[in-house]
Amino acid sequence: MSSAFTKSAARNIFYGGAVFFFLLLVGLSFDTMQTLPKRDNRENLSESAIRGKHIWETRNCIGCHTLLGEGAYFAPELGNVYTRRGPEFIKAWIQSQPTGVPGRRQMPNFNLTDAQLNDLVEFFKYTAGIDTAKWPPNVEG
Amino acid sequence: MKYQSQAVAKPYFIAAIGLFLGQILFGLIMGLQYVVGDYLFPAIPFNVARMVHTNLLIVWLLFGFMGAAYYLIPEEAERELFSPKLALAMFWIFLVAGAATILGYLLVPYATLAEMTGNNILATMGREFLEQPLPTKVGIVIVALAMLFNLSMTVLKGRKTAINLVLLLGLWGLAIFFLFSFYNPANLVKDKFYWWWVVHLWVEGVWELIMGAMLAFVLIKVTGVDREVIEKWLYIIIAMALISGLIGTGHHYYWIGTPEYWQWWGSVFSAMEPIPFFMMTLFAFNMVNRRRREHPNQAAVLWALGTGVMAFLGAGVWGFLHTLAPVNFYTHGSQITAAHGHMAFYGAYALVVLTMISYTMPILRGREANSRKAQVVEMWAFWLMTIAMVFITLFLTAAGILQIWLQRIAAEPMGFMAAQDQVALFYWMREITGLVFFTGLVLYIVSFFIKGEEARAS
Amino acid sequence: MNIAATLPASHDQPRTLPGDLAIWFFIFAELLVFGVFFLAYAFARARNVELFDASQLQLDRISGAINTALLISSSYFVVRAVDRIRHGASHACAGWLVAAMTLGGAFLVLKLTEFAGKFAAGITMSTNTFFMFYIGLGFFHFMHVVLGMIILGWVAHKAWRGGYSAANHAGVETGASYWHMVDLVWIVLFPLIYVMH
């Protein structure tokens, strides 16, 4: 028997393969969700950190920065900024933007209140505690 | 064109090109901001220019896919579109909503935009590529569902070919996976995990079905190769795309807090993701080689071949370069990512839309192909944009390698901002090349206005 | 005198890949994935010999050996099925396929028992790298056996209803090729993960 190559066989491979691998993805995702509690630092996802995430989103910080390596590449990685700079530096830095240095990349001032700054710092602290398999390679991000 | 209702594709394509122009203008702004950091600050901060740039990209590609579908499906189904009026209405709704969204980004501080548009009802704003206010996201779903209804009814009552079924499946998948953009959990790891169910399963998943169907359609038309041959290869190509791409999603799960087995599973499967793109290149060249006619629209043939090659280079090769976990550990979130992203999007999706426009626009304007003169200008536009994109990618790759070395590998790691200063030269070269790209795009638009006698088959 | 007449009667055409070429794309992709995973296993083991050897001791080799025998036998039954349909005996073909599926089903049951035991002991893909490979590859292969059963079942059903003949049975060869691939993968997987130390 020589090998034919029919459209219907190709079509069946496509549908079969797609269903097979989608089911596998769902299965692995299910296992991932079961495993997350040991890795995602949710015990430190306080109300304050949740408010901080909301501030992170509504000021579109990801539009310039990366968080765990995802986002924009204009400004530093902030997933580990809590470790790199500490809470007081972070608050002072945000409050003193923009630097106004000619030619330097500028960050807006978001006029955040003290409470909001503290929430944002809590969010960074929570993020820094997530088990990212030792990423980034060093403290600079 | 064979069916009157195919004419609705025209406004979609015109909008696509207009938005593409806008995208590149904002890209040029961003490119300059990389090296003149305070350019246009505070009027247009970098993040605002970026969200305009990326959102315009996605929206013009969506206009392109929709226009392609409205042209292709009636022809494949051998009947008129179910409701041209609905298609036209959706065009205006999408365009107005899109314009309003872009204006919102530009004119209103993002936090205010969020308050104004009900982000407190359901917080979906503030994630990359998904910056749209809630009403815009809902609008996208409505427009998508209307389109799917329109197209599905057309196919249900007409001829079902592999091409229109694959396109429809891809578009349904696009709409369904977009729904994950409404799911934004407080848990950052889960947030990121499901974010990729929109982004990866779009561009490394269902969008490949859409692209494959569009390419197959154009190849049948310009080469005259037998449908059976083209369609069976289409099925194998998209089979490989999903077989590699579904578990390949794992290459986004290496460092975001998910279990470490994804480093193995994501690496093995995503390493195979170039295969469908390699096949698409072979597919395009092979079908053109086997052609049974000399189609008068040679520009369209060039775009089709270009799509295969650039998609393979940008998505396949550049993707492979940084997909394996041990490499990605160093390249994650660097200019390497930007390099790959640009060439992949251009090569796969921008080019397939431009291929479709190149083939269909003359027909929508009443001729089989444009004049020799117009096609020559169009082909110049192809080469200028494509070569420019290759160099943009090379410069960003160089910037990325140096950045990674300085910031992540050297014994005395340099901070982010200092490392950026060190790679500034590459950013300047990228910006100049960006101007060449822009020139190509302008030339492309000019080509639509060049008159002359319609080219005939030789 | 032509050349064809000098060849054995059953080979009157040049021999190429059995079954539809489409399945061979799929088989190629699968072998690529499993092959790379096997290499990855070897690599990971080389960096972690003690951990791998210690963890491997927790595996049930008897169960694995029985499973190997089951799959090899089922492949033999599939060979018999293809032989029968080449002679036009479609009911016999279906019978052999069902026999193959029975052994395949036994494989699945044994495997499920094995995994259930591991999960009950709290072992997951995240326990350590060895168990990541054991459970990951084991489950991945398991899913392939399930898919193989579906394919064989489909083919058996069609054969029973007379959908194939001596001249026209590409589908049987296609399904058989897939099943043999699944068997082949296990024949590498078992010694690699269960035995080699």
pLDDT in the model for residue A58: 98
In a domain, C95, yes or no: yes
Count of the separate structural domains present in chain C:
1
B111 and A110 Cβ atoms separated by less than 8 Å: yes
- Shortest distance between the Cα of A4 and any Cα of chain B, in A, equals 12
What is the chain B residue with the closest CA to C32? B272
pTM for this prediction: 0.96
Q: Decide: residue C6, CB within 10 A, 0-12 exposed, 13-18 middle, 19+ buried.
A: exposed
> Does B366 reach chain C within 8 Å, measured CB to CB?
no
Please give the Cα distance from B458 to B294 (Å, whole number): 6
B33·A6 Cβ contact <8 A: no
> Would you state the pLDDT for residue C15?
59
- Per-domain residue ranges of chain A: 7-37, 40-128
Asked if B408 contacts B330 with a C-beta cutoff of 8 angstroms, the reply is: yes
Give B68's contacts (C-beta < 8 A, 6+ positions apart).
Answer: B9, B167, B210, B214, B353, B356, B360
| pLDDT tens-digit readout, B125-173 | 999 999 999 999 999 999 999 999 999 999 999 999 999 999 999 999 9
pLDDT digits (tens, 9 = 90+) for B225-275: 999 999 999 999 999 999 999 999 999 999 999 999 999 999 999 999 999
- Output Rg (C-alpha) for chain B, integer angstroms: 22
- With 50 as the cut, is the pLDDT of residue B88 above it? yes
Q: What percent of chain C has pLDDT over 70?
A: 92
Retrieve residue B131's tokens: 């910056």
| Structure tokens given for B332 | 């994650």
B389: nearest Cα among B427, B335, B347, B349: B347
Nearest to C32 among B259, B265, B272 (CB): B272
Residue of A6, A14, A82 to mutate for B, most B C-beta atoms under 10 A: A14
Alpha-carbon gap: B259 to the closest alpha carbon of chain C (Å): 7
The DSSP call for residue B440 is H
CATH superfamily of A40-128: Cytochrome c-like domain (1.10.760.10)
| Residue A66: strand pairing partners | A71, A77
Report the alpha-carbon distance of residue C40 to residue B440 in Å, rounded. Answer: 45
| Domain architecture of chain B: domains with CATH | 1-160 (1.20.120), 242-458 (1.20.210.10)
Q: CB contact, 8 Å: C20 with chain A?
A: yes
Q: Each residue of C50-98: pLDDT tens digit? A: 999 999 999 999 999 999 999 999 999 999 999 999 999 999 999 999 9
| Secondary element (H or E) of residue A38 | none
In this prediction, residue C1 carries a pLDDT of: 44
Contact C17 A3 (CB under 8 A): yes
Confidence band of B352 (pLDDT split at 50, 70, 90): very high
Question: For residue C61, is it within any domain?
Answer: yes
How high is the pLDDT of residue C19? Answer: 87
Closest CA to C73 of C107, C43, C103: C103
Mean pLDDT across chain B, nearest whole number?
97
Tell me if C99 is assigned to some domain: yes
Give a yes or no: residue C146 inside a domain: yes
**Model pLDDT for residues A34-89, shown as the tens digit of each residue:** 999 999 999 999 999 999 999 999 999 999 999 999 999 999 999 999 999 999 99
Q: What is the CATH number of the domain that holds C154?
A: 1.20.120.80
**N-terminal to C-terminal alpha carbon distance within chain B:** 21
Q: Do B257 and A45 touch (CB under 8 A)?
A: no
Is residue C29 less than 8 Å (CB to CB) from chain B? yes
**Residue C192 to residue C178: CA distance in whole angstroms:** 21
Encode pLDDT of B33-71 as tens digits: 999 999 999 999 999 999 999 999 999 999 999 999 999
Which chain B residues are closer than 8 Å to A70 by Cβ? 128, 192, 256, 333
Q: Quote the domain boundaries for residue C124.
A: 19-195
ipTM (interface predicted TM): 0.98
Q: What angle in degrees, to the nearest 10, is found between the helix axes of A114-128 and A47-58?
A: 100
Which tokens go with B136? Answer: 């815009």
**B232 contacts C126? CB cut-off 8 A:** no
Q: Which pLDDT does position C197 carry in this prediction?
A: 85
Band (pLDDT 50/70/90 cuts) for residue C9 is: very low
Q: Do A20 and C147 touch (CB under 8 A)?
A: yes
- d(C-alpha B255, C-alpha C13), whole Å: 54
Average pLDDT over residues B296-323: 98
Which residues on B lie below 8 Å from C25 (Cβ)? 236, 239-240
The answer as to whether C51 is a domain residue is: yes
Min Cα distance C155 → chain B (Å) is: 21
Predicted local confidence at residue A3, as pLDDT: 63
Chain mean pLDDT for chain C: 92
DSSP B232-299: HHHHHHHHHHHHHHHHHGGGGSSSSSS-TTHHHHHHHHHTTTHHHHHHHHHHHHHHHHT-SS--S-HH
DSSP state for residue B66 in the 8-state scheme: H
Q: Is C1 inside any structural domain?
A: no
Rounded to 10°, the helix B274-289/B298-311 angle is 150
Q: For residue B458, what pLDDT is reported?
A: 61
Tell me if A70 and B187 make a contact (CB, 8 A cut-off).
no
- The one-letter amino acid at B168: L
Q: Kindly state the tokens that stand for C163.
A: 């959908």
Summarize pLDDT for B93-106 with one digit per residue, the tens.
999 999 999 999 99
- Answer whether A9 sits within 8 Å of C174, measured CB to CB: yes
CA-CA distance, B286 to B225, in Å (whole number)?
Answer: 10
Q: How far apart are CA B318 and CA B55, in angstroms?
A: 23
